[in-house]
Structure 1
């Protein structure tokens, strides 16, 4: 959902004083900043010298921090003091509106931090979309879809994957450049760096709770382009199959089944699989289809081609080869088509057309310029002067 708060007359976010910000203090911004900082209420309260109960009142909107506390609050949460001022569009998410690729290994604090990241991602997208026309949302089943509004995909994962391939005219072959393809259909895809602590500790996640579907992908545990591609297809499955997140294993299995059929359609892959599991031949298929050998072995099980004991032995042999060429993970950075670029190119277009700068965009969002660069995937490349 989106909320718009009125701006106080005669103020602008970049020039407001602590007193003015106190008068227009927007409590949800405090919660968002705390989520992004990965801090508890007790930790923030201790940082500004108040009780945890007082901070809870600030976040609930039943009380406001005194004006003199606001600069310290901004320092503790690493945001400009203007961040707390009402008047900017805000995306608001809760845990039911996001799907996490590895839910069991993702703590509640990490999920909260990731939600704040997606909220900021939507705000950045919204600011750019005021200046640049982004690709239309072409995702059947997504309530905000602009190309196929009101068209639903089948409820079963395999059927949904097949129908979406048909909608997107993918044919029956491999899906190349998956991240870029998602972007071309209006999905916002980002791949945060390890430096972005708000998202980098979470394997992958997505949300359909805002006006554009959002997919966040991180290399995290294994910088493996094939695992990364499967995660992207898995999140796509959540977006078309599940209107809300229940956090149960059924939804995860359905998203996996969608991803497998979307990336390796049964009618195309089945004739190519050797009758007996041959890891060297599967390694060739892995490179052609952009999925892991492990995923191809699992397709044998899904197609009912071999026994579970045979599958188990194949996985044992595969583990022994995990460091060998053709089987070792390949980093995402070696595959430009799997690296999202939509937001960065939208900014570059706005910059060339209107003269928009990082600093101006940061002021509009009430963020630090470094935060804008992080979400755009445009790190500051200037050398750092260090004084002893």
Structure 2
């Protein structure tokens, strides 16, 4: 569905539109006075339009488009080349760069998937007249820093302070990145050796893809890793595949150290360990304690052990010994820490999209801007039409006055009846 022209006109920067209008006029060899006459305005007023000092109305835009013999939507739409993502992948290989052709095909498929999902998000914003501002307040320059890991630790502390996170866990990092930076975060299935990637396009802003098949702990680490890239190269990402040879680049060293420091802040981890030792009457933390502490921060058992090595609590050899015992799953069960059931097919699909994206789908549907088949085929691809009513009900606050005067939420059955006419 094509976005509303008035919406696009309102969203485009006046300087950008002014430049396009001037180019279109010059291409047709039309003088400014002729264009001003077509609009019924003076030449000085028209000049202010081409200087970006006066905003056009939709009617004026259509008049000029007709005069210049161009499509009005093309004057205000985001050019395709500004929607093409360049990306930075993060993946792990068990062998030296073998089978790169097969890997490249898989990576190209993943890029295409993110491209489609991010473009769909942009379409929803344009339909609804929403404006997204992609903005990363702090960019950390790696040039001139010899100790990249120490610099990453400093950056992680500063970012936590700026986001007012203290030393607490960050379970909702994806939502935080969207709210604070305007980053689009999606999840979908990728080859097991791909953790995720960060991409950027001028028309889309920053976009992150996570492998939905990886456990939540690994997804959190990947997200923090990509945030590290976001804070060093938000708008200048080049295609870069992390392999056995690329892990030692300054960019990867920074992102890896940043992820560890950001998800496991030093003061918070030290306090956790100190409190545990005090509870144990001076005894070192048990395996159950270590599992519980890693669960507290939402990171993997191995990642938490490596952080303890980094802070001087464990010798490095202990990581391999403790992880080889494979006791995490059983320990979590005994501590009742793993109570989440596997997601249903519908939940798995919905988990792929940011919360705001799903809210926009519902809003566009409620305003008759989207039909059910558009939702099932593009905007929430894979869901069944019969699921739409439940999704809309879960994202829409529908209230009514009860007999006793209290305001309550409309139950699902009542909401279902109200929507059935659109689903039949």
**TM-score range normalised by the length of the shorter chain:** 0.5 to 0.7
**1:340 and 2:344 are equivalent in the alignment:** no
Unaligned 5+ runs, structure 2: 1-76, 95-101, 143-150, 278-283, 388-424
**1:153 and 2:140 are equivalent in the alignment:** yes
**1:373 and 2:386 are equivalent in the alignment:** no
**1:121 and 2:125 are equivalent in the alignment:** no
Report the alpha carbon displacement of residue 358 of structure 1 after superposing the two structures with TM.
4.0
Tell me the C-alpha RMSD between the 2 structures: 3.5
TM alignment of 1:13-162, pairs within 5 A? 89-90=79-80, 91-93=82-84, 97-102=86-91, 104=93, 107-130=103-126, 131-133=128-130, 136-140=133-137, 151-153=138-140, 155=142, 156-162=151-157
Highest RCO, 1 vs 2 (Cα 8 Å, sep ≥ 6): 1
**Residue in structure 2 matching 1:287, options 291, 295, 305:** 295
Residues 257/240 of structure 1: CA separation in 2 closer, same or farther (3 Å cut): same
The answer to whether the 8 A contact 2:198-2:206 is kept is yes
Residues 320/173 of structure 1: CA separation in 2 closer, same or farther (3 Å cut): closer
The CA distance in 2 between the partners of 1:270 and 1:338, in whole Å, is 34
Report the alpha carbon displacement of residue 184 of structure 1 after superposing the two structures with TM.
1.9
The answer to whether the 8 A contact 2:134-2:183 is kept is yes
The two structures have a TM-score, normalised by structure 2, of 0.54
Cα deviation code 1:44-69 (max 9, x no counterpart): xxxxxxxxxxxxxxxxxxxxxxxxxx
The two structures have a TM-score, normalised by structure 1, of 0.59
Unaligned 5+ runs, structure 1: 1-86, 141-150, 363-368, 384-388
Cα deviation code 1:326-363 (max 9, x no counterpart): 587967849999973221112222333x421146968x
The answer to whether the 8 A contact 2:89-2:198 is kept is yes
Report the alpha carbon displacement of residue 188 of structure 1 after superposing the two structures with TM.
0.7
Report the alpha carbon displacement of residue 279 of structure 1 after superposing the two structures with TM.
1.8
The CA distance in 2 between the partners of 1:332 and 1:238, in whole Å, is 31
The CA distance in 2 between the partners of 1:320 and 1:228, in whole Å, is 21
Report the number of matched residues. 268
Residues 118/339 of structure 1: CA separation in 2 closer, same or farther (3 Å cut): closer
Residues 339/209 of structure 1: CA separation in 2 closer, same or farther (3 Å cut): closer
**Residue in structure 2 matching 1:209, options 175, 195, 201:** 201
